[in-house]
Every structure is written in structure tokens, then in C-alpha cells.
């Protein structure tokens, strides 16, 4: 049996679909939140959907875009499937990763793609870099069009595309070329670089910085002695510094620790800013205050964090509880790393002081005693 109509997929929560039945031999070539794609011939593929409404939505978009060269050819729309052109090539994300550069010709093609989406009256004028295919003929085709006519998913700015370019370190070069090729688009999009105009200053030694100038709508999410942090997208934030030396210090630490899971991802370093991963979750201080106790699992994760800091050759083997974030996945990430290569702390003094203030130090040390006897011997005589 090789009837793709027998394939069925389901989706639970916000996850990608799962294939629950597939008696066919067609190779799976892609999977997302709405459906799974199988190659059924040299020039055709079929997308099997978890919901009939998504097959209908994407079918309508593809029909409307058939006279344009930016979308796949449409062959058939069924109850829970769409047969369309198989487009051979690499995603724009893969292509740019391999080149580490973006040419003026490619920028022109991206602009043409977005103008076509606008002309076709797409309500969602955005696409991720991995949803744009660069063909063997060097044309751009956009895929995954389920929400392109959706009123609920309206997006008049290519936010995901621009954030994707930022992650690859290509956003500034892209904007330079857009400014020349299409000044109108540049005026609309330059908000994505406006954080560079934010200014902060350290007015009183030892006090948090003050925000002197912020023409943007990016929300302030934190302030410290060296800088202020603003959320600039769903998964990115920018830290604006009062002193350039602190940019250099923190970026050096982040660069050295990128292969570790305990620090945010680094995207861009500028004269007075760092763009990095936005980590959603409470600080470890807030987490422990809410729980009122410290579990052995949390202690294990703290020990792992400290061991990683040691492995990464941090000279400051310490962080305050408010500088450790507990993610939605229960992992711990350390932030505010300006002094982790410049100050020397070979014991987690600030961390244990914070635990003492919460009344949790004894429980923590009891758990360390059997989890890591060597660390316990080093820390057991700690006193505030």
C-alpha cells in the first residue's frame, strides 16, 4: 500500500505534529505545527495536516498565489492534504549560514518576495528564514503559508525574518543594502535597529544605571550597575551599557561560554550594547521564595552550574540568586557576567549568603554533603 491518504498525523499542545499512522514508503522531508510533508515523486510532495481547516487555509493561499513565482505550484487539495510542487534547494537560513554574507542581489530578491506577498494581499507579511527556499536557479520561494490570509496572525513587518538575520549577524549589512535599494522599506523597518540610540549612564557610583534616552517602545526588563536590559523580540533582549569596557568584559565571557548550556546565546556585540537570548523565567531567588524550600534536584542543578563555571575557567565562581534564571524547562542560566573573568571568587559566597537570608542554607549544605562531599568540606564552615 502506498496511498498517502492513509497517512495520519496529530498535534498535541504547541508541539509539532506526530505521525500516528504511515503505511507508505514516501520519505518524510519536513514536519511542523500544522502538518508533515512527504515527497511522492521527483517534482511533487504532499502535506498531511492534523486539522482540516489548515489544509483548507493553505490551499486557499496557494490558489491565490499561483500566478506569482514566489509559491509552490498547487496540484490538489483534499480533506486533510495538499499536493504541491516539490521545491529542491536549501532554506535561506542554511544558505546564509554557509555563506556568512548577504549580497545585494539576494537582498533585492528578499525585497521582491516581500513586495509580492504584499501585492497578493497576504495579511502575514513575514516568513522565517527556514520557510524561504533558495532554488537551484537562485530564486526564492516561500513555504508554510497556512496563516498568510489569517486575520488573527496579521503581521505587517517581517519581524521573524529580521530577527533571523540578526541571529546570523547579518542584520546591519542587510539594512545598509535595504537603505539604498528601498528607502521606504528601510523607514518602516529601522525600528529593529533603534535600540542603538538608547543611552544609559552610571550617575552615582555603586547605584543602578539611569536610562537617559530611549526613543523606542522596547520594554525595560532589568537594570544593574553596568547596564539596562530591554526586550526587543520574543526570544531576544539587548543590554545597553554605560561604559564600553563592560561591553568588552561581558561579551568576552559570553563568547567563551557559548558551547555551554548555562549562559544566554550571544547574537551581536556593538559599541555600547550586546544582543543576547531573552530567557523567560523567574530568578532563582524568586523561585525559592515562592517554594519556601530547596529540593535536592535544585541543589544538583546549582552544583552543576558552579562546576560548569569552573570548567569554563571563570575566575568568579559565584553568582547571586537573582542573577540565576530558572527557565520553563527547569534549567538554570546565569546572567550578568561582566566580572566573571575579572574578579576572583573561588567559593559561592554571594550565593550562600542569599540562601542564608532565605533560611535555606542549612538544607542546601545538608544536600551538598552527600551529593558533593568535596564541596561540602570547602563550604561547611561558611558564615555570614
Cα separation of 323 and 11, whole Å? 36
* 328's grid cell: 520553563
**Does the pLDDT at position 2 exceed 70?**
no
DSSP secondary-structure letter at 263? S
Residue 341 has a pLDDT of 86
Q: Please tell me the distance from the alpha carbon of residue 173 to that of residue 277, in angstroms, as a whole number.
A: 21
pLDDT tens column, 230-273: 998 888 999 999 999 999 999 999 999 999 999 999 999 999 99
What digits encode the pLDDT tens for the residues 38-63?
999 999 999 999 999 999 999 999 99
User: What are 12's strand-pairing partners?
Assistant: none
Query: 263 and 275 in contact (C-beta within 8 Å)?
Result: no
- Are the folds of 4-85 and 198-277 the same? yes
Q: What's the pLDDT score for residue 1? A: 47
For the chain, give the percent of residues with pLDDT over 70.
99
For the chain, the domains span 4-85, 89-192, 198-277, 284-379
Take residue 167 and report the three cell numbers written for it: 541571529
What does the pLDDT look like over 73-96, one tens digit per residue?
Answer: 999 999 999 999 999 999 999 999
Q: What pairing do the DSSP bridges indicate for beta strands 74-77 and 81-85? A: antiparallel
Architecture of the domain whose range is 198-277: 2-Layer Sandwich (3.30)
Over residues 271-287, the pLDDT tens digits come to 999 999 999 999 999 99
* Average pLDDT estimate for 144-161: 86
Question: Comparing C-alpha atoms, which of 303, 358, 367, 357 is closest to residue 332?
Answer: 303
Grid coordinates belonging to 82 = 495538499
Contact indicator for 277, 232 with CB cutoff of 8 Å: no
CA-angle at 53, arms to 49 and 54, nearest 5°: 45
Backbone phi and psi for residue 217, each to the nearest 5 degrees, phi listed first: -100, 10
pLDDT given for residue 317 in this prediction: 87
Q: Which of 340, 336, 301, 296 is nearest to 317 (CA)?
A: 340
Match 545597553 to its residue by C-alpha cell: 240
Q: Measured between alpha carbons, how far is 335 from 270 in angstroms, rounded to an integer?
A: 18
Q: Is residue 263 a contact partner of residue 337, using CB atoms and an 8 Å limit? A: yes
More reliable by pLDDT, 120 or 217: 120
Cα–Cα distance, 252 to 257 (Å, whole number)? 9
Please name the residues in contact with 201: beta carbons below 8 A apart, sequence gap of 6 or more. Answer: 209, 210, 212, 242
Q: What is the CA radius of gyration of the chain?
A: 25
What value does the mean pLDDT of the chain take?
A: 92
The verdict on pTM exceeding 0.75 is no
State the pLDDT confidence band at 383, using cuts at 50, 70 and 90. Answer: confident
From start to end of the chain, where are the E strands? 8-10, 18-21, 28-31, 35-39, 44-49, 74-77, 81-85, 89-91, 132-135, 140-142, 199-201, 210-213, 220-223, 227-233, 236-241, 266-269, 273-277, 324-326, 332-334
Inter-residue contact 184 to 201 (CB < 8 Å): no
What confidence tens digit (pLDDT) does each residue in 100-130 have? 899 999 999 999 999 999 999 999 888 999 9
Q: Is the pLDDT of residue 384 over 70?
A: no
> Percent of the chain having pLDDT more than 90?
77
CB-count exposure of residue 113 (10 Å: 0-12, 13-18, 19+): buried
Joined grid coordinates for residue 30: 519536513
- Which grid cell sits at 278? 531573552
For 163, the grid coordinates are 530577527
Neighbours of 90 (CB within 10 A): 16
Q: What is the CATH number of domain 4-85?
A: 3.30.200.20
Mean pLDDT score, 327-349:
90
Give the pLDDT of residue 154.
82
Amino acid at each position: 500500500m502506498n496511498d498517502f491518504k492513509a497517512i495520519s498525523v496529530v498535534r498535541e499542545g504547541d508541539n509539532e505534529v506526530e505521525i500516528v499512522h504511515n503505511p507508505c514508503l514516501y520519505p518524510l522531508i519536513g514536519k511542523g505545527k500544522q502538518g508533515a510533508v512527504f515527497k511522492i515523486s521527483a517534482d511533487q510532495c504532499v502535506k498531511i495536516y492534523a486539522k482540516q481547516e489548515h489544509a483548507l487555509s493553505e490551499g486557499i493561499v496557494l490558489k491565490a498565489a499561483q500566478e506569482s513565482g514566489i509559491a509552490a505550484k498547487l496540484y490538489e487539495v483534499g480533506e486533510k492534504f495538499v499536493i504541491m510542487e516539490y521545491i529542491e534547494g536549501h532554506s535561506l537560513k542554511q544558505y546564509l549560514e554557509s555563506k556568512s554574507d548577504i549580497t545585494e542581489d539576494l537582498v533585492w530578491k528578499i525585497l521582491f518576495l516581500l513586495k509580492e506577498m504584499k501585492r497578493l494581499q497576504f495579511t502575514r507579511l513575514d516568513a522565517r528564514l527556514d520557510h524561504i527556499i533558495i532554488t537551484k536557479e537562485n530564486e526564492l520561494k516561500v513555504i508554510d503559508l497556512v496563516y498568510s490570509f489569517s486575520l488573527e496572525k496579521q503581521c505587517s513587518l517581517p519581524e521573524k525574518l529580521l530577527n533571523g538575520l540578526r541571529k546570523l549577524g547579518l542584520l546591519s549589512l542587510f539594512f545598509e543594502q535595504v537603505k539604498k535599494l528601498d528607502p521606504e522599506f528601510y523607514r518602516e523597518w529601522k525600528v529593529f535597529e533603534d535600540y542603538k540610540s538608547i543611552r544609559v549612564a552610571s550617575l552615582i557610583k555603586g547605584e543602578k544605571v539611569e536610562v537617559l534616552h530611549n526613543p523606542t517602545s522596547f520594554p525595560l526588563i532589568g537594570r544593574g550597575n553596568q547596564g539596562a536590559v530591554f526586550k526587543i523580540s520574543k526570544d531576544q533582549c539587548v543590554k545597553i551599557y554605560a561604559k564600553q569596557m563592560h561591553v568588552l568584559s561581558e561579551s568576552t565571557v559570553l563568547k567563551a561560554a557559548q558551547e555551554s548550556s548555562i549562559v544566554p546565546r550571544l547574537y551581536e556585540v556593538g559599541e555600547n550594547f550586546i544582543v543576547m537570548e531573552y530567557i523567560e523565567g523567574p530568578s532563582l531567588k524568586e523561585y525559592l521564595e515562592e517554594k519556601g524550600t530547596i529540593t535536592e534536584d535544585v541543589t544538583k542543578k546549582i552544583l552543576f552550574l558552579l562546576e560548569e563555571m569552573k570548567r569554563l575557567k571563570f575566575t568568579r565562581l559565584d553568582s547571586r540568586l537573582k542573577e540565576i534564571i530558572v527557565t520553563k524547562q527547569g534549567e538554570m542560566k546565569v546572567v550578568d557576567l561582566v566580572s566573571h573573568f575579572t574578579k576572583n571568587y573561588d567559593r559561592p559566597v554571594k550565593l550562600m549568603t542569599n540562601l542564608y537570608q532565605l533560611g535555606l542554607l542549612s538544607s542546601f549544605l545538608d544536600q551538598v554533603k552527600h551529593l558533593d562531599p568535596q564541596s561540602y568540606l570547602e563550604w561547611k564552615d561558611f558564615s555570614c
